[in-house]
Amino acid sequence: MKKVMFVLLALGVASLGLSSAALAFHDGGVAECEGCHTMHNSQNGSIVAPSGTIGNGPSKYLTVGSDPSSTCLSCHEGTGSYHILSTAGDSLSNGGDFFWLKTDYTWSAHGSNYNSMGYTHGHNVIADDFTLGQDPKLSTGPSDGTRAFNSSELGCNSCHDPHGKIGGGTANTGATARENDYAIAASGSRNAETQQNAAGAGGNYVILGDSGYDGGQNATWGATFTARAPIAEANRTGADLTSHADYLSGMSEWCANCHSGFAQSTANVLNDTAHTHPAGAGADMGTVAAFYNKYVATGDFNGAIATSYDILVPFERTSGTAADLDMASTDGPVAGDQVMCLSCHRAHASGFSDIGRWDFNETLLAESPIFTATGGGETLGTNAYYNKVDSTGGVYGPEQRSLCNKCHLQD
């Protein structure tokens, strides 16, 4: 009888608990299991995913969407705030807008026809509900071959750990004191007090997979992340000079969890036998930091460190500490800060090939084909440049050349 009473009491308490207000779907990390998963391919008596008709069989990983990414994008589709898949390329998030994966544009020049295909614009996450498919060209992510990730398995959960574990989570028996705080403490996990720091972890930056993460239970990859999630800070309001991601360390090493060989530590590219631009630990900016700070625009080298930060060319403030991260900082780098993968590329997608933050193939940014191409246009172009460049020049002026020059001063 006591058991009966206990069950009734528990049900009652649980029922009351369900009525309480909650402030975010993730609740800081993992959401309620049933929010994303269906246990028996059913919902209220109906089959959720008939085999062979939706996604990869009956709802792979038992997600309520056709696949993990479709499940994520059900909420994250939209414009602004935490949305990363818009219908007009106007979700100006730090990671970029997956809209660009669906945007091909074509143009003619010098008597020839050219194109910029959507699949070259970003990480081709597979989300059937949003008609986002596998990369048609690359079977694995670019790397030196030692840790190539299969593009057939790429999804949001390849990079982000939807369950919000740190250091492999509870299952990691070798967890350190920091790792024992395995659950993300608060929604968003982006505030300074919840970032990884010496005092203890509150959560990984944008719930990126931490060391030990398996890239979303990738069946064919067979590897796990070796690098820790990076230390950085951002909020959800997008990317402009008053509210931008501010990076401390570990970003490039983390990218190299899949893109092995791309985080070259040597600061001198001439000594790099891999012929790869330096990025990550050891790739100190050195004298380049002074160039960055001087550079305002093509022909204008009168900048100062206090105002030289450019959201289109971010860097890691490696010489500082987590406490120094400031999403509104306009400060440029010092010699000990580092170039990273995201200095030139976005993480999700961009309006340009190679996920470039700017058009790598154009001499003058204002002449980027996206402004005039069929399938492009002025609005799309300014969105792609986060409102910093338009077809008449934008904030840099009409003569602005490639932003490689922000560090290299070759213009």
Dist. CA 196–CA 199, nearest whole Å? 8
Among the listed ranges 107-115, 123-131, 151-159, 329-337, the one in contact with other proteins (CB under 8 A) is 123-131
Q: How far is the CB of 254 from other proteins (least distance, A)?
A: 26
Q: Which is nearer to other proteins, 7 or 304 (CB)?
A: 7
Judged by CB under 8 A, which of 143, 226, 237, 319 binds other proteins?
237
Site string for other proteins, 38-77 (x = CB under 8 A): -----xxxxxxxx--xx---------xxx---xx--xx--
Judged by CB under 8 A, which of 3, 15, 112, 273 binds other proteins?
15
Residues 6 or more apart whose Cβ sits within 8 Å of residue 18: none
Q: How far is the CB of 373 from other proteins (least distance, A)?
A: 15
Q: Is 19 in the site for other proteins (CB under 8 A)?
A: yes
Dist. CA 317–CA 331, nearest whole Å? 10
Judged by CB under 8 A, which of 51, 81, 108, 392 binds other proteins?
81
Neighbours of 393 (CB within 10 A): 17
Closest to 163 in 3D by CA, of 229, 218, 209: 209
Q: How far is CA 313 from the centre of its chain?
A: 15
List phi, psi (to 5°) of 72: -65, -45
Judged by CB under 8 A, which of 60, 236, 294, 401 binds other proteins?
236
Site string for other proteins, 320-359 (x = CB under 8 A): ----------------------------------------
Q: How far is CA 126 from the centre of its chain?
A: 15
Q: Is 24 in the site for other proteins (CB under 8 A)?
A: yes
Q: How far is the CB of 173 from other proteins (least distance, A)?
A: 32
Whether the Cβ atoms of residue 389 and residue 365 lie closer than 8 Å to each other: yes
Residues 6 or more apart whose Cβ sits within 8 Å of residue 318: 248, 249, 281, 284, 336, 337, 338
Q: How far is the CB of 57 from other proteins (least distance, A)?
A: 14
- Strands 46-47 and 42-43 come out as antiparallel
Dist. CA 404–CA 410, nearest whole Å? 8
Whether the Cβ atoms of residue 347 and residue 97 lie closer than 8 Å to each other: no
Q: How far is the CB of 136 from other proteins (least distance, A)?
A: 18
Q: Is 131 in the site for other proteins (CB under 8 A)?
A: yes
Q: Is 25 in the site for other proteins (CB under 8 A)?
A: yes
Q: Which is nearer to other proteins, 134 or 319 (CB)?
A: 134
Q: How far is the CB of 282 from other proteins (least distance, A)?
A: 37
Dist. CA 228–CA 225, nearest whole Å? 8
Q: Is 410 in the site for other proteins (CB under 8 A)?
A: no
Q: Is 192 in the site for other proteins (CB under 8 A)?
A: no
DSSP code of 401?
Answer: B
Residues 6 or more apart whose Cβ sits within 8 Å of residue 230: 205, 208, 247, 248, 249, 250, 251, 253, 254
Q: How far is the CB of 44 from other proteins (least distance, A)?
A: 6
**Number of residues in the chain:** 411
Q: Is 22 in the site for other proteins (CB under 8 A)?
A: yes
Judged by CB under 8 A, which of 62, 106, 107, 128 binds other proteins?
128
Q: Footprint of other proteins on this chain (CB under 8 A)?
A: 1, 4-5, 8-13, 15-16, 18-19, 21-25, 32, 34-36, 43-50, 53-54, 64-66, 70-71, 74-75, 78-81, 83, 87-88, 128-131, 235-237, 379
